[in-house]
């Protein structure tokens, strides 16, 4: 089965992607904001502009449906209660929030949306349909200012402990920079993020000195200096690369079975980065590693249990599929 076929199977008629197979019972049949941004990279890699637009128009419609809530946070940011933040996942048909109490504060998802809207617009893909869409983009910028994203403790890419995360700050900085020619973005709002990011790097957070989430600062955001990039890559490869994937961080408890789970998308992610850096040897190495952990039908699982050939039920994972398409197609 081709990666394009797999990725299309994960997209609902609304345009939103399930995080993994629509048939799983883990909740991964739902639509995460961040996962949709990363899943859309696969369509972009193969120049499927129609599928790409459907995803972004759906994301904008989700945000419009909950505009009142976002505007409330902008107008009155205190108290910063978790349920008042932009939710991270939605019903892919009705666009309603899933309101369970879990790691819902994910500022990097907001930054990711802004970044790709700006990036695709610059590339000539008409993402913004009308003034209403532009209004939503401006509202997201104002939202990041209201929550003071540069020192706001969020749950981060992995939806866990509330901390200040470098990957979240970097996503927001990249997003703000990407849309500053579309809407009004004060320069101080970007600089506050840059200063905070440089102070925190090379760490991901106070408790994590290395984390796979830091790869996002290299790709897709490209928001770090060459020195910072090299330090991130060296640390990830030294401490997190395993036989069948890349660990999220040291001590990860998610699907932990006598060791940290090994995420297949880490190989594809590193492959994308080394292709971008024109390091052909490492690009080929990680591309082959990613191919070696595919299932028989060409799907990439979310993860393998530590030091085993057993993978979990979140298969195929949209993120991993899309990153593999980027690695193979550029």
Ranges of each domain in the chain: 3-325
Q: Counting Cβ atoms within 10 Å, is residue 173 exposed (0-12), middle (13-18) or buried (19+)?
A: buried
CA 294 to centroid of chain Cα atoms: 21
Q: Six-digit token pair at 209?
A: 């000195």
268, pLDDT greater than 80: yes
144, pLDDT greater than 90: yes
Q: What is the mean pLDDT of residues 163-184?
A: 98
> Tens of pLDDT along 67-106?
999 999 999 999 999 999 999 999 999 999 998 877 899 9
**102-124: burial string, b at 16+ Cβ within 10 Å, e else:** ebbbbbbbbbbbbbbbbbbbeee
Q: What is the mean pLDDT of residues 279-296?
A: 98
Furthest CA-CA distance within the chain? 53
**DSSP code, position 99:** -
Q: Do residues 98 and 30 lie in contact, with contact meaning Cβ atoms separated by under 8 Å? A: yes
Determine the pLDDT at residue 101.
77
> Tens of pLDDT along 201-239?
999 999 999 999 999 999 999 999 999 999 999 999 999
Q: How far apart are CA 113 and CA 87, in angstroms?
A: 13
Mean pLDDT of all residues belonging to the chain = 97
12, pLDDT greater than 80: yes
> Tens of pLDDT along 288-327?
999 999 999 999 999 999 999 999 999 999 999 999 999 9
Q: What is the mean pLDDT of residues 246-261?
A: 97
Determine the pLDDT at residue 227.
98
Q: Do residues 202 and 232 lie in contact, with contact meaning Cβ atoms separated by under 8 Å? A: yes
pTM (predicted TM-score): 0.97
Determine the pLDDT at residue 102.
79
330, pLDDT greater than 90: no
Closest by Cα among 136, 132, 165 to 151: 165
Determine the pLDDT at residue 1.
84
Model confidence at 5, pLDDT cuts 50, 70, 90, reads very high
Model confidence at 173, pLDDT cuts 50, 70, 90, reads very high
Determine the pLDDT at residue 21.
96
> Tens of pLDDT along 130-141?
999 999 999 999
Determine the pLDDT at residue 230.
98
Q: How far apart are CA 54 and CA 34, in angstroms?
A: 16
Model confidence at 42, pLDDT cuts 50, 70, 90, reads very high
Residue 183, CA distances (Å) to 1, 51, 133, 169, 186 in order = 42, 25, 11, 20, 10
Model confidence at 53, pLDDT cuts 50, 70, 90, reads very high
Q: How far apart are CA 110 and CA 172, in angstroms?
A: 7
| Residue 275, preceding peptide bond in cis (omega within 30° of 0) | no
Determine the pLDDT at residue 70.
98
Determine the pLDDT at residue 99.
84
Residue 241, CA distances (Å) to 204, 245, 246, 273, 306 in order = 17, 6, 4, 15, 12
Torsion, Cα 164 170 176 177, to 10 degrees, reads 150
Q: How far apart are CA 123 and CA 275, in angstroms?
A: 20
Architecture of the 3-325 domain: Alpha/alpha barrel (1.50)
Helix axes of 226-239 and 265-276: crossing angle, nearest 10 degrees: 150
CB atoms within 10 A of CB 245: 29
CB atoms within 10 A of CB 206: 12
């Amino acid at each position: 089965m081709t990666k394009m076929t797999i990725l299309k199977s994960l997209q609902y008629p609304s345009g939103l992607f399930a995080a993994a197979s629509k048939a799983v019972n883990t909740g991964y049949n739902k639509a995460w904001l961040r996962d949709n941004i990363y899943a859309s990279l696969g369509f972009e890699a193969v120049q499927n502009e129609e599928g790409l637009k459907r995803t972004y128009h759906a994301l904008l419609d989700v945000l419009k449906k909950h505009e009142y809530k976002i505007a409330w946070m902008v107008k009155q940011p205190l108290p910063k209660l978790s349920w008042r933040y932009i939710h991270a996942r939605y019903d892919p048909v009705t666009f309603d929030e899933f309101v369970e109490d879990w790691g819902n504060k994910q500022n990097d998802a907001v930054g990711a949306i802004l970044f790709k809207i700006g990036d695709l617009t610059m590339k000539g893909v008409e993402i913004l349909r009308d003034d209403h869409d532009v209004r939503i983009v401006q509202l997201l910028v104002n939202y990041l200012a209201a929550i003071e994203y540069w020192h706001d403790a969020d749950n981060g890419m992995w939806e866990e402990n509330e901390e200040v995360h470098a990957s979240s700050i970097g996503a927001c900085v990249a997003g703000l920079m990407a849309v500053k020619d579309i809407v009004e973005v004060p320069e101080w709002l970007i600089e506050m993020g840059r200063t905070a990011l440089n102070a925190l790097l090379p760490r991901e957070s106070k408790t994590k000195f290395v984390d796979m989430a830091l790869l996002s600062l290299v790709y897709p955001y490209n928001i770090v200096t060459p020195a910072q990039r090299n330090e991130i890559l060296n640390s990830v490869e030294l401490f997190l690369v395993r036989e069948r994937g890349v660990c999220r961080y040291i001590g990860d408890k998610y699907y932990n079975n006598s060791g940290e789970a090994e995420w297949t998308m880490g190989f594809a992610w590193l492959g994308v980065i080394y292709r971008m850096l024109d390091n052909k040897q490492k690009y080929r190495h990680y591309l082959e590693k990613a191919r070696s952990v595919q299932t028989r039908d060409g799907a990439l699982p979310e993860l393998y249990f530590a030091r085993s050939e057993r993978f979990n039920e979140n298969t195929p994972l949209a993120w991993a599929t899309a990153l593999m398409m980027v690695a193979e197609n550029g």
